[in-house]
Structure 1
Amino acid sequence: MFSRSVLRSFASDLRFVAPSSISAAPLPQRACLHQTAWLRTTQTQSHSTIPDTPLGAIPRVQDTQPSTPTSTPNTTTPQTDADFPNAKKPVAPSFDGPIEVTKSLMSTLPHLVGQSPHYVVAELHARPFLLTEGDHLRLPFLMPNVKPGDVLRFNRASAVGSRDFTLKGSPHVDERLFECRVRVTGTESEPLRIKEKTKRRQRHTKTAKSKHRYTIMRVMEVRVKTPEELLEEGAVVVEDSEDTPKVEARS
């Protein structure tokens, strides 16, 4: 009886103590696998970090030359005419010598000069504008590089005339025959426009906003030069031809 009780107590101790002791101790094969992997990684890291030559206090000589800094573009404001690009410079005049005026134009020009007010069909960006002195002009765009108070001259016109006479060009009238000056008064903006853009089979709607601005001008002067002024400027009287402009009377 005593032997059975001792055996029973020993079995109970094994049942409760043995599982905890077995689970706490790792398997030798598993431990060996982890150790070999860890040793392999540490060896590769140590070999990669070890330099080829021993370290010293003397600094090494740089093999390559330092890169020279690239020249930065000049972003300063141009001060002279030579600093502006060719695309931004004003258009050069189309004439090289003095203006040539025919005899018929010199004889009929006083009739056009004496009858005022005058009008001019000025062209700006291939758009004609019929202007007389005192008119307010709103350009269909915002003119850059202008400020309120600036005085501009329209030198491209297809016709200059009055109530009964008209001087037509082929295709434009020489700018030395007339003067049309305007003054910039300010800018004007239109009401804000909102447009909704949608696509089929999509629930998202986009909104596009636009608020355009326009340049406002006032015509200060529209006049035709007299024959005396043309002669003082060096005009040359030539014979009549088909290409020269003529003053036409309205029927």
Structure 2
Amino acid sequence: MFSRSVLRSLTSDLRLSAPTSVSSVNAISQRACLHQTAWLRTTQQQSEPQSSSPIPEAPLSATSQTPLQNTISQSRNAIPLEKQPVAPTFTSPIEVSKSLMEQLPHLVGQTPHYVVAELHARPYLLTEGDHIRLPFLMPKVKTGDILRFNRASALGSRDFTLKGAPHIDERLFECRVRVIGVESEPLRIKEKTKRRQRHVKQAKSKHRYTIMRVMDVRVKSPEELLEEGAVVVEDAEDSPQIEARS
């Protein structure tokens, strides 16, 4: 009986003392918050006179462009250097026959141009704005890279055609493409079985292809060829000629 009465008295004392302890903790936390807010107000008032002076803004240059403008612009100057194709190097200047130099302005003046470019011995008929889906995944190529097709068997317009023997000199034209991305085909599963065996094997395949867009197909004018150091030679039997369509 005595122990029960002692326990009851202790529990009653704890119940009475618990609200007071909680209230004291709340009061201490409120004082801490008030102290912090008062300290923040004093620091803000002290820092306001120093930060009241306006910060001069840097003048915008005429050449500055936004990232959106850089992506929209398709000029060669807007393309980063790491994305541009490597310029070819030649040991001797290009030799152009007189007849080709005389007929070349007719081909240059008639647009748009087309080119039959070859890639891994596969011909592709390309014009500006076309999309190419290669039948393979091109290695070491990233999205946004610019490539130059330098092997072509034919180059022409609506009424004129320049054929190579077997290829046209790459210094006569420019064909640039941009890598858009990679496209993958649906997953294909093929079942393979052998005679007198119950086990069935499954061969899975999911090929990926490189997607490109033709940016520019251009024929160089005689003035550009002369500036690059072209040499005019006499006509020969194997010299390329521009044929007019009948």
The superposition leaves residues 2-47 of structure 1 with CA deviations (integer Å, 9 ceiling, x where unpaired) of xxxxxxxxxxxxxxxxxxxxxxxxxxxxxxxxxxxxxxxxxxxxxx
1:199 aligned partner:
194
2:210 aligned partner:
215
Match of 1:137 among 132, 138, 141: 132
Q: 2:168 matched to 1:170? A: no
The superposition leaves residues 175-231 of structure 1 with CA deviations (integer Å, 9 ceiling, x where unpaired) of 000000000000000000110111111111100000000000000000100000000
2:98 aligned partner:
103
2:178 aligned partner:
183
Are residues 94 and 174 of structure 1, via their aligned partners in 2, closer, same or farther at CA, if it must alter by over 3 Å? farther
Scaled by the length of structure 2, the TM-score of the pair is 0.64
Q: Indicate the SS of the match to 2:102.
A: helix
The superposition leaves residues 71-93 of structure 1 with CA deviations (integer Å, 9 ceiling, x where unpaired) of xxxxxxxxxxxxxxxxxxx9996
Match of 1:230 among 218, 222, 225: 225
- Paired residue type of 1:198: T
Return the alpha-carbon distance in structure 1 between the equivalents of residues 240 and 190 of structure 2: 49
Return the alpha-carbon distance in structure 1 between the equivalents of residues 232 and 154 of structure 2: 21
Scaled by the length of structure 1, the TM-score of the pair is 0.62
Post-superposition shift, 1:250?
Answer: 1.1
Post-superposition shift, 1:242?
Answer: 1.1
Deviating runs (4+, > 6 A) in structure 1? 90-94
Q: Superposition RMSD on alpha carbons, in Å?
A: 1.8
- Paired residue type of 2:193: T
The superposition leaves residues 134-153 of structure 1 with CA deviations (integer Å, 9 ceiling, x where unpaired) of 00001110001111111110
Alignment of 1:3-22 (within 5 A): none
Post-superposition shift, 1:94?
Answer: 8.8
Alignment of 1:31-180 (within 5 A): 95-180=90-175
Give the aligned length: 162
Identity %: 85
Higher mean C-alpha displacement, 202-211 vs 90-99: 90-99
Return the alpha-carbon distance in structure 2 between the equivalents of residues 199 and 120 of structure 1: 49
Post-superposition shift, 1:96?
Answer: 2.6
Post-superposition shift, 1:237?
Answer: 0.5
Are residues 92 and 230 of structure 1, via their aligned partners in 2, closer, same or farther at CA, if it must alter by over 3 Å? closer
Q: For structure 1, which runs of at least 5 residues remain unmatched after alignment?
A: 1-89
Return the alpha-carbon distance in structure 2 between the equivalents of residues 92 and 218 of structure 1: 20
- Paired residue type of 2:114: Y
Return the alpha-carbon distance in structure 2 between the equivalents of residues 165 and 225 of structure 1: 15
